[in-house]
Chain A
Amino acid sequence: MTAEHTAADTEKDARIAANRRRYEELKAAGDHAPASLPGPTPRGLPLPHGPLTREIIPAGWYHTLKLKTGEALRLALIDAPAAVSLICWNAHETTERLNYADTLKIQWTARLQKGRVLFSDMGRVMLSLIEDTSGAHDALMGGSTAASNRARYGARADVERLRNTRDNFILAAGKLGLDRRDIPPAITFFAPVGTDEGGGLVWGTDNRQAGDFVDLRAEMDLLVALSNCPHPLDPRPDYAAGAVEAIRFRATPPDLDDLCRNATPEAARGFENLAR
């Protein structure tokens, strides 16, 4: 600290004060984590339109698909608890891809539920979470790896053969003409992961059952990779998971008061960026 307060110091203080003021105004104007997001979707809600394609992904396996703008993807548990990890790319410019960190940061929350959106690394919305029966998903930890399977189920020969999400995504990316460098961190649906007071990662209340689903509406043309492997925090002793159904369908076109487009000013600006 110098005794002299120079003209440059005064200018700096003014700059800092102006930056802080802009932030305070934004914070006051924003509603970053709305308490009024709707509750979960009831199980059994039918698709609004007939399925375009339907795929059953066996436990441990992966699937790739293309979604056009306005189409949607229902991921559904059909016989037992399972977790589905998802990554995606802009179909026309694959350097634009899912960014889980921006997804959390922009919406000021690590909790994905009906009304939230998934952001790309270019400040644009890729997918809207238009229906969701559980509201308990993992946006922090990603999916399994060979190492996490080993840590979770033991270093045995039979464990080495268990499929994992990292390797599934390498295969999925490979089949789409992409490679290891193109695999972004994942978001895993149906994995109730949260944090405790100290920032420790915890597996929350597990209410998953057959009939649970999420509906994701594509907001741009997408390449999507899915992996159906048990989540590394899943406390069940066995690797066994249920099959997962991936149904592509035509979404009902969003109207002006569409929940996902209006839930937060941040999401609204993410849609604005799509239209630019």
Chain B
Amino acid sequence: MNAKGFFAAPVRDPKTAIQTHRVPAEAPWSGLVKRGQSIRIIDLEGQQAVDTLFYSAADFADRYSSQDTVRVQGAAYVTTGTRLISNEGHLMGVVTADTCGRHDTSAGACSCESNTARFGQHTRYLHACRENFVYEVTKHGMSKRDIVPNINFFMNVPIAPNGELAIVDGVSKPGDYVEIRAEMDLLCVISNCPQINNPCNGFNPTPIEVLIFAGDEG
């Protein structure tokens, strides 16, 4: 579960990052990660779900595909070594480091509308990840139709052999991080999940940090 030792790349000094972005609790973020660069997402306080989407910077129709990723991997969870695959079959990135050990990519993002079905009508007017995604992708000329099921970094959604699916307490501790090396020029879109209706954020959304490291060529 909360195993350690998932590093597959040398541990980098965060001070060598070429960009540092602090994303407040509940907020969206987007940015470009060039081929060869790495993006590190840090769960500063622990137990925070980070809903993440990737688009090819050259063609936004070529975007992260959860189903292609689990198919190529043969496994439902994301961890070190996972190749992130686009809906057009392209390799978008590789998870090169992960101090947490397990991330979900089957349960998608929360939305005001799905919250009403999951938790009741009284949750309709709570901020949600789909709101963050819609808002953020419009900055890049996209719209709701461009939003697809995403990766939930630091979110633990075990799928049992009988199909039962649970959202259980987040397993990440303060400072845990995941690092993805871009294999093409990527637009990364993040919703720092505002969900307070289940344990994915420990009922308390908290800030995260995004670092971008140069590639081998600088």
Residues of A bordering B, CB below 8 Å: 12, 15-16, 19-20, 22-23, 26, 33, 94-95, 97, 99-102, 104-106, 108-111, 119, 121-124, 140-142, 145-148, 166, 179-186, 194-201, 232-233, 266-267, 269-270, 272-273
Contacts and interface: CB of A to CB of B under 8 A. Distances in A.
Interface residues of B, number: 57
B68 interface: yes
Contact of B87 (A183, A199, A273): A183
Contact of A199 (B75, B116, B199): B75
B148 interface: yes
B148 A104 contact: no
A146 B90 CA distance: 11
Nearest to A232: B71
Given A180-B61, A266-B118, A201 B146 contact: no
Nearest to A201: B74
13 contacts: A15-B204, A26-B197, A105-B165, A110-B106, A124-B113, A166-B89, A180-B88, A185-B148, A197-B161, A199-B77, A201-B70, A269-B118, A273-B113
A102 B118 CA distance: 9
B165 A110 contact: yes
Given A140-B67, A182-B145, A102 B114 contact: yes
Closest 7 pairs between A and B when the two form their complex, measured CB to CB:
A101-B108, A111-B163, A123-B113, A142-B67, A19-B203, A101-B149, A147-B89
A11 to B, nearest CB: 12
B161 A179 contact: no
Contact of B202 (A16, A124, A141): A16
Given A22-B197, A185-B66, A185-B148, A105 B114 contact: yes
B165 to A, nearest CB: 5
A140 B70 contact: yes
Contacts of B68: 142, 145
A97 B205 CA distance: 29
B3 interface: no
Given A97-B145, A121-B144, A195-B159, 14 more contacts: A33-B164, A95-B145, A101-B107, A102-B114, A105-B157, A106-B117, A109-B164, A121-B147, A122-B111, A123-B114, A166-B89, A180-B87, A195-B161, A267-B117
Contact of B75 (A97, A121, A179, A200): A200
B76 interface: yes
A75 B9 CA distance: 48
B118 A106 contact: yes
A268 to B, nearest CB: 9
Nearest to B63: A181
Contact of B114 (A19, A119, A181, A267): A119
A121 B130 CA distance: 9
Nearest to B78: A199
Contacts of A232: 71
B19 interface: no
B37 interface: no
